[in-house]
Amino acid sequence: MQKVLAAIMERDGRLLLAKRKKGDRFEGLWEFPGGKLEPGETPEEGLKRELREEFGIETRVGHFLCSVRYTSPTQSIKLLAYEVTHITGQFSLYEHEEIRWVFLEELKQYPLAEPDAALIPKLRKRALATK
């Protein structure tokens, strides 16, 4: 089972979503940015690397939030979501078509990749618990 990382990055009460570009496996779908964990990396190291590669930004990876397992005929992954803070750098779109900052309640308006969509109930539950 492949471990995949997701950044839950918040700014002014909004979460960062990124739209996969044309030609990508999940073309046109939105996701929490991140990527595959490489051998020898900790999840924190992998997520920082992915965000640097995808956007050219430096980040601080915080607490582990939750995980989901996703299986399809072509893949089996465990998606690990971490709280992430943007430290420096302007967002450049190297791997995505577009980014948006959206409120948790607005996520249902975006066609999300299935593994990312599976995170939403857990993020909502967490948000309610912290109020």
The predicted-structure confidence for 104-128, as pLDDT tens digits, reads as follows 999 999 999 999 999 999 888 877 6
Q: How many domains does the chain have?
A: 1
Q: What is the pLDDT of residue 38?
A: 95
**What CATH number does residue 29 fall under?**
3.90.79.10
The predicted-structure confidence for 76-108, as pLDDT tens digits, reads as follows 999 999 999 999 999 999 999 999 999 999 999
- pTM of the predicted model, to two decimals? 0.92
DSSP string across 40-75: T--HHHHHHHHHHHHHS-EEEEEEEEEEEEEE-SS-
CA-based torsion, 84, 85, 89, 90: positive or negative: positive
